[in-house]
Each structure stands twice: as C-alpha cells, then as structure tokens.
Chains A and B, each alone.
Chain A
Amino acid sequence: MNKLLQTLMDGVAVGSLYALIALGYTMVYGVLQFINFAHGDVVMVGAWICFLLVAAAGLAVGEPQLGALYPADWIAIPLLLGMLALLMARVPRRCLSRWPQTCHAVELAATVIAAVCGIRFLLLGGGWAGYGLHGAAASQGWTRLAPALGGAAILVTAMCICAVLGYLFERLAYRPLRDAPRLNVLITAIGLSLLIQNVGQLKFVFGTEPQAMAVLLPDVVLVEVAGVSVRLLDVGILTTTILLMASLDYLVFRTKIGTAMRAASFDRHTAALMGIPVDRVVTFTFVMGSALAAAGGFLFVSKYRSLQQPADMAWVLMGLKAFVAAVVGGIGNIRGAMVGGLLIGLLEFFGAAYLSPQLRDVYVFTLLIAMLLLRPSGLFGRHALEKV
C-alpha cells in the first residue's frame, strides 16, 4: 500500500512535468502541423539558465552568506542597444515602400538585436531579483523559505529568457519555412536542435561538465499519509505545474488570443482571412511553449538535482517522453497533452516500481509504438481525414 501511494505520488509529480513540456509540442503542432524537435533542447537551456542564475544569486537553504553577483557594468550597453533596436524595429512607412527588402532585413536585424540584448538584461536582472527577494525574505525572518522565493523570481526570469529564445527560433528558423514542404521543416528542426546542443556545450555558454543544482526548498516532510511521506518539494512542484497549466487553460479557452490560437489551429489561411494576425499568433504560441518548457526544466532539476551536459541523452529522453505524452493525449489537443503527461509519468513510475527499473524508458516507447499503430490520433485527438 505504501509502495502504491509513493509510486502514485512520484508518478503524478513527474507526469505533471512531462505535461508542461508536452504542452509546448502540442501547441506548436496545433498551429503549424509540425513537430518541433528543438523543444526538448529549450527545456535543457531553461534548466541550465536556472542553475546559472541560482549559482550567481547564491541561493541555498541553510547558508547565511549570499554568493557573488554579476558585475553591473555590463548592463548599460545592452540596455541602450536594445532600446535603440526596438526603435529601429518599426521603420517609417515611406522607407518600407521604396526599399522593401532592405527594410525587412533591417527590421529583422533590429528585432534580433533587441531580443539578444533582452536576454542579456534578463540574465543580469534575474540574478539581482533572486538575490533581492532572498534578502528581503530573510530579513523578514523567513529564513527557510527565503531561497524558494528567490527561486521563484529566477523561475519567472528563466521563463522570460526562454520565451525570448523561442521568439528568436521561430523568427529566424521557422518563419521562412512557413509554407515549405514538411520534410524541410523537420530537417531544420533537427538542425536547430543539434545547434542548440552543441552551442550549449561551448565553454563560455554552459560547458561539458555535469553540475549539481543547489537545494532551494527545505527537505521537509509535510504529512505522513498511510506510511507515505509527502514531501514539500513534490507538493511545490505539483502546485506550480497546476498553476501554470490552469493559467494556460484559461488563456487558451477564455481569452481573445487563445481563441485566435485555436482558430489558427483549425485553418490558418481562413483565420488570416478573418483578420487574425497569424504570424503574431504563431510567435505567441512558440513563446508560450518555450516559457512552459523553461518551467518544466527548472522543476525537473529541482527534483533531480544533477544537471547533465547539454548534449546528454537524459535531455533527449525527457524531450522524447514529453513528445510521447503529447502524442498519447492527441497531438494538437491541449487538455489531451495534460492527461497524456500524467499517464506517461504514472506508466513510467509504476513500470519501474513493479516490473523492472532498468527498462523505464522502454515502457514509454512501447506505449508510443502501440498508440501509433492502433490509434494514431491519440486519446483526445480528432482524426483529420486527408482530402485530395
């Protein structure tokens, strides 16, 4: 009974992480009908950025001394450059009509520069925010929860950074291929995935050494239910994922932009005819998906402390499992992705606990093959008939 409840809890906690990442896959498939192979690498980037920010802000439970901070002198240049780029991003109308190609190139370059400066600014600001919040909480007397509050600030920052990254990837790699054959987009996605992995391995980015993430939440057992200890960490992870998924659900089903996303996923061209700015909707989808991926990465490394190197199989496996979760739930269906993630998490943990721990990855891929052969549209997906 203990084992059952423990496995259930672990499965639900990790399954909700898979659901978060699967939401990114499913939303992108919904609007663009292609599988974004590079999504798993955004999770990796999010996790590593969180590690770097936590290390820079010096957050850890039980350590009274805060660590070194970023040098603040690098903040002026990116800030100014970014603001200048944002101003340039919208060129005047008469220039646009006379030299269209140059103006588009200038706009693209300006947005890219603005995005890169934004990332730099966020990296700096995130460290400061984490340190500041930790300090404020500690001075109020909440010494045990202070690092977690700092961690929350860093989570928000990492989500913003990965959102900007998602914007960059969409703008530079996927938008030029909006109407290209599917094979080309797939190859580009694979190329982008490999690029992210290999750039991440460079010494001045993340490096090739595995690292250990600092402990942010105190390892406290909240309550003992039937011999099973409910940890604060698992409750924290579950709460965060439920919050994020609930807000995404609200966004997609009850706001105007969400309606636009759903409309674009039904029929992109007709949605454009109805006045929906499809480019902006697609960019927004990528941005949302990447932000959720960053959250998933952060929660993943807070649970499993060790952080593998960027090209390691562990990240690829996690991305693939999240993809399986999206497929199982019905790719393109948001609620399906949430359910699929939970299913995959439960399957993995129950299989590892009751069958064999070495084959934990095999269960998930077996489910994938079974689903693809028996019910390719997934649990909640609609089977779109291909018309000629």
Chain B
Amino acid sequence: MKPADPLARELRPSIALTFVKSGAPILMGAGLALLVHMVLAPRMQPLHAKILQDIGINIILAVSLNIVNGFTGQFSIGHAGFMAVGGYTAAGVSYYASYALWGSPAANGGVLSFMGEWSSFEGPLFAGGDGLFLLACLAGGTVAAIAGVVVGLPSLRLRGDYLAIVTLGFGEIVRVLIQQSREQLLTKQAVEEVGCWERFLHLGGALGFTRLPFYTTHFWVWFFAFITLLVSFRLRQSSYGRAFLSIRENEIAAEAMGVPVTRYKVMAFVFAAFFAGIAGGLFAHQLGTTLNPGELGFQKSFDILIMVVLGGLGSISGAVVAAVALTILPEVLRDPPHAWPLALAIIIGILIFKRRAGIRGAVLLAALTGAFELMRAVAVWQEIDLSKYRMILYALSLILIMILRPQGLFGVREIWDWRPQWRKRHPLPTRGDPA
C-alpha cells in the first residue's frame, strides 16, 4: 500500500527492495562459504584445512563473546560453558537422531558435508544428514541461549567482579555436570532400550562423546561465521546495539535514560550464548576433535577472552583479526619461521607512508621482532617446543596489553574506520578518543 503523501511515498522504501537488501548478504555469505568449501579447501593440505576450520570456529566464538564483553561491557569468563552446552546438545541430537532415522551414527550428508576431492563425489548438494546437522546446531544454539538467560538473570544483583565469578562458576558447573553424565550408548539395541528423552542423559561422561558423524565442513563453518558477523554488525547498528553501548559506557545514566538495563544484559548473554552454542555444535562434529568436558573448561574460555581483549573490546573486526592470529599462533610457535623479512617490509612501509609519526611504531615493531628472533634462536638451539609455553606467553601478553595498550589492536573502532574520510560514511557511536 503506497501512502498518499508524496513525501512519505518517497521516503518509504519498497518492500521488495528491503527484502533483497537484507537477504542478499546472507546469500552472498553462503556463496562465499560454498566457494571456500569447493574450490579452496580441496586444494589445501589437510593440516591447513583443519586450521582454517578452527579459525572459522574461533571467529564465531570471539565475535559472540565480543557482544557481551565488548558491546555491553560485562565481564563474562565462562564462554566455553555455553560452547559445551551447545556442543553436547548438538552431539546428542545428531547422534541419537541418526540412530532413530538411519540406524547408525554414520554421516549421511550431501556435498556440503563432504570433505575431499569434490570431483570424486556424486550425490545431492543438501541431503538428509545436512538437514539433521543444521537442526542439531540450531538446537545446540537454542539450549545454549536458554543457559544464557540463566546466567544473565543474576546480573540484576551482581556487578563487575561478582558477575565474573558467577560466569566462571557456571563454566565449571557445566563441566562437572557433563562429567557426571552416564556412559555413551554404542549399539543400536542399547539405544532402543533406553527411552526417548532419557537418551540425552547418556553423554559419555568424563571419557567424552565419541563416534559422532563428521558433518563439519568448511561450508558450514564459514556460513555460520558469516551469519555471526552479519548479526553482530547489524546488532551494533540497531537500537539494541545502541542500548548495549550505553550500558557499557555508563549503566546508571542508561537506566536514567530509560534503557531497561537487566533486560538488555540478559539479551546480550542470550545472543552470545546462541552463537557460542552453534560454535560448540560445529566443534563437536569436527573431524579430528573429540568432545570431552576437559577440553571445554576455563582454558578455552581464557583463549576466547584473550582473542577479544587483544582485538579490542567492542571491535568486531578486531575480534576477527585476533581470532585468526591466535589460532595460527600455536602452529607458528611449533615451528617458528623467520619474522624479520616480514617485519622489515612493514617497517619500510610505515616509514614511507607515515614518516615521523610512524617512528615510534617502527621502533616498537623492530624491538618485538628482535625479541621474537631471539626466542626463535634459543628455541631452535635448545630444541624447545615453544607451543608448550603457549599459556605463559598468553598470560604475559595479556598483562602487557592491559598495562601498555588496554584498548587492544583496534579499540572500539573497526578496520573500515581507519581512514577519517571513511569514518564519516559510518556514523557509528564511538568513544571520544582521538585518532
């Protein structure tokens, strides 16, 4: 129905165009994911392909934690608990539903769930197994979102440090509860003997949930990663995002301005937990990872936290960059390459483009490269595997970041706000810090 007033008619967008504008990025994301899955992944070595999948999963985790830690300014250090909840739910759904539908837990998907030489596979693009996997991931996300409500609700009475302790406790409670679950049902008769809903209590306990169908492929990982990025970006631009940012800046002022603070805090937890649950589902069905509660404890929470803090609390692109860097870091540490050619190139670039303003950054980069080369030389000489000292490096770098550059790499800005003239095109609310 077009309104009568000509000005209103001009200002109001057409419905079809709105649908296209909002749906197009999703289709584009699916297309890109399909491209990675079919063209890029088969040409990579299996180790690199696995790392690429890990990068995608860590991007989902970091961007989702950024919603609650970065946008809303809360302190949640139990994010791996949501991942565990979602992962185990998705695993339970896909495992026991596979038994119910096809009689065995083998993968039953189409091209989207197939990893290998694409040209050698015949079959449909999207088969029954893919549908089951999608359903399992969404179920995992939903249950994790419910857990997010449970964790977010006490935030009415808890502030800062206490909320941190509660989220930490939640992560541990999830881990302990999963360790208490009953042993996994391994044969078809055993599954049929146990009742329909009771099956979900048999999650493997401390030994882990094995024999899951390996549905996670590059398509699913990057599709969900793209959706997470899209939702996070659009959330920030919306009125919800403005509410989150206002809570981060000054909770009392936000409350005074009429923002229902508890409701938005819980909403932030729900969003973050949903995507963490999906990431858990992807993690559970990955070839090469075993789902057991020890892996999804405080260590994993801390890994995700440092990704968000390093990238900059509140920056989506910062979280992405940090997730990529910190996923590749253990592999780099295991067999460290020489860093000075790359560093030299960057320093020359800085000195050419920024000249005097860039001297401090260039000196810092030179010092860091020197330290890295020294460490590398010592590691090679003494034959130390540096990736074992990963946690010490992480902890030390976290402390140094907090002391020297607490805003992380990007602060609250995004990578597309770097040039001042680009910033005018995206009038997002930012902190008043100068460039």
B395 lies within 8 A of A194 (CB): yes
B370 within 8 A of A: no
Chain B's closest residue to A386 (CB) is B252
User: How many Å from the CB of B98 to the closest CB on chain A?
Assistant: 35
Q: How large is the interface on A (under 10, 10 to 19, 20 to 34, 35 or more residues)?
A: 20 to 34
A194 lies within 8 A of B391 (CB): yes
Q: Which residues of A contact B164 (CB under 8 A)?
A: 186
A194 lies within 8 A of B75 (CB): no
B154 within 8 A of A: yes
User: How many Å from the CB of B331 to the closest CB on chain A?
Assistant: 20
B154 lies within 8 A of A373 (CB): yes
| Complex Cα gap A35–B406 (Å) | 19
Q: Which residues of B contact A190 (CB under 8 A)?
A: 77, 302, 305, 398
B16 within 8 A of A: no
A176 lies within 8 A of B73 (CB): no
Q: Which residues of B contact A100 (CB under 8 A)?
A: none
Q: Which residues of B contact A198 (CB under 8 A)?
A: 389, 391-392, 395
Please provide the chain B residues from 379 to 400 with a CB less than 8 Å away from any CB of chain A in the complex.
389, 391-392, 394-396, 398-399
Q: How large is the interface on B (under 10, 10 to 19, 20 to 34, 35 or more residues)?
A: 20 to 34
Contact with B along A349-363 (1 / 0, CB 8 A): 000000000000000
Please provide the chain B residues from 140 to 177 with a CB less than 8 Å away from any CB of chain A in the complex.
154, 157-158, 160-162, 164-166, 169
B316 within 8 A of A: no
User: Among A8-16, A159-167, A177-185, A223-231, which stretch is in contact with chain B?
Assistant: A177-185
Q: Which residues of A contact B154 (CB under 8 A)?
A: 369, 372-373
A66 within 8 A of B: no
B395 lies within 8 A of A191 (CB): yes
Name the one of B161, B302, B392, B396 contacting A34, with C-beta atoms under 8 angstroms: B161
A184 lies within 8 A of B406 (CB): yes
Contact with A along B43-84 (1 / 0, CB 8 A): 000000000000000000000000000000101010000000
Name the one of A186, A368, A373 contacting B161, with C-beta atoms under 8 angstroms: A186
A323 within 8 A of B: yes
Given the interface pairs A34-B161, A177-B402, A188-B402, the reply to whether A194 lies near B302 with Cβ below 8 Å is yes
A192 within 8 A of B: yes
Q: Which residues of B contact A373 (CB under 8 A)?
A: 154, 157
B402 lies within 8 A of A182 (CB): no
A72 within 8 A of B: no
Q: Which residues of B contact A35 (CB under 8 A)?
A: 161, 165
| Complex Cα gap A372–B169 (Å) | 14
Q: Which residues of A contact B313 (CB under 8 A)?
A: 183
A173 lies within 8 A of B160 (CB): no
Chain A's closest residue to B309 (CB) is A187
| Complex Cα gap A209–B284 (Å) | 31
A186 lies within 8 A of B75 (CB): yes
Q: Which residues of B contact A199 (CB under 8 A)?
A: 392
| Complex Cα gap A372–B157 (Å) | 7
| Complex Cα gap A34–B162 (Å) | 10
Chain A's closest residue to B404 (CB) is A176
Most buried by B among A176, A188, A320: A188
A195 within 8 A of B: yes
Q: Which residues of B contact A386 (CB under 8 A)?
A: 252
User: How many Å from the CB of A158 to the closest CB on chain B?
Assistant: 24
Chain B's closest residue to A313 (CB) is B172
Name the one of A183, A194, A323, A368 contacting B394, with C-beta atoms under 8 angstroms: A194
Given the interface pairs A194-B302, A386-B252, A388-B252, the reply to whether A372 lies near B403 with Cβ below 8 Å is no
| Complex Cα gap A320–B394 (Å) | 23
Give the dominant DSSP class at A's interface: helix
Name the one of A183, A185, A187, A369 contacting B398, with C-beta atoms under 8 angstroms: A187
Given the interface pairs A190-B302, A194-B391, A388-B252, the reply to whether A173 lies near B157 with Cβ below 8 Å is no
Q: Which residues of B contact A188 (CB under 8 A)?
A: 398-399, 402-403
B403 lies within 8 A of A177 (CB): yes
Contact with B along A190-213 (1 / 0, CB 8 A): 111011001100000000000000
B403 lies within 8 A of A195 (CB): no
A182 lies within 8 A of B160 (CB): yes
Name the one of B169, B394, B403, B406 contacting A173, with C-beta atoms under 8 angstroms: B403
A125 within 8 A of B: no
Q: Which residues of B contact A250 (CB under 8 A)?
A: none
Q: Which residues of B contact A192 (CB under 8 A)?
A: 395, 399
User: How many Å from the CB of B341 to the closest CB on chain A?
Assistant: 31
Q: Which residues of B contact A181 (CB under 8 A)?
A: 406
A365 within 8 A of B: yes
| Complex Cα gap A35–B166 (Å) | 14
Q: Which residues of B contact A34 (CB under 8 A)?
A: 161
User: How many Å from the CB of B303 to the closest CB on chain A?
Assistant: 11
| Complex Cα gap A318–B399 (Å) | 24
Q: Which residues of A contact B398 (CB under 8 A)?
A: 187-188, 190-191, 194
Q: Which residues of B contact A320 (CB under 8 A)?
A: 165
Name the one of A195, A323, A388 contacting B395, with C-beta atoms under 8 angstroms: A195
| Complex Cα gap A323–B313 (Å) | 27
Q: Which residues of A contact B75 (CB under 8 A)?
A: 183, 186
A182 lies within 8 A of B161 (CB): yes
| Complex Cα gap A191–B158 (Å) | 22
User: How many Å from the CB of A71 to the closest CB on chain B?
Assistant: 24
Contact with B along A337-381 (1 / 0, CB 8 A): 000000000000000000000000000010011001100100000
| Complex Cα gap A376–B166 (Å) | 13
Q: Which residues of B contact A388 (CB under 8 A)?
A: 252-253
B160 lies within 8 A of A186 (CB): yes
Closest 7 interchain pairs by CB? A191-B398, A195-B395, A194-B395, A188-B402, A191-B399, A198-B391, A35-B161
Can you spell out 14 A-B residue pairs with CB atoms less than 8 angstroms apart?
A34-B161, A173-B399, A183-B313, A184-B402, A187-B309, A187-B398, A187-B402, A188-B399, A188-B402, A190-B77, A191-B395, A195-B396, A320-B165, A376-B158
Known: A194-B394, A373-B154, A388-B252. 14 other contacts (CB 8 A): A34-B161, A35-B165, A173-B399, A177-B402, A186-B160, A187-B309, A191-B395, A191-B396, A194-B398, A195-B399, A198-B392, A323-B165, A368-B165, A372-B158
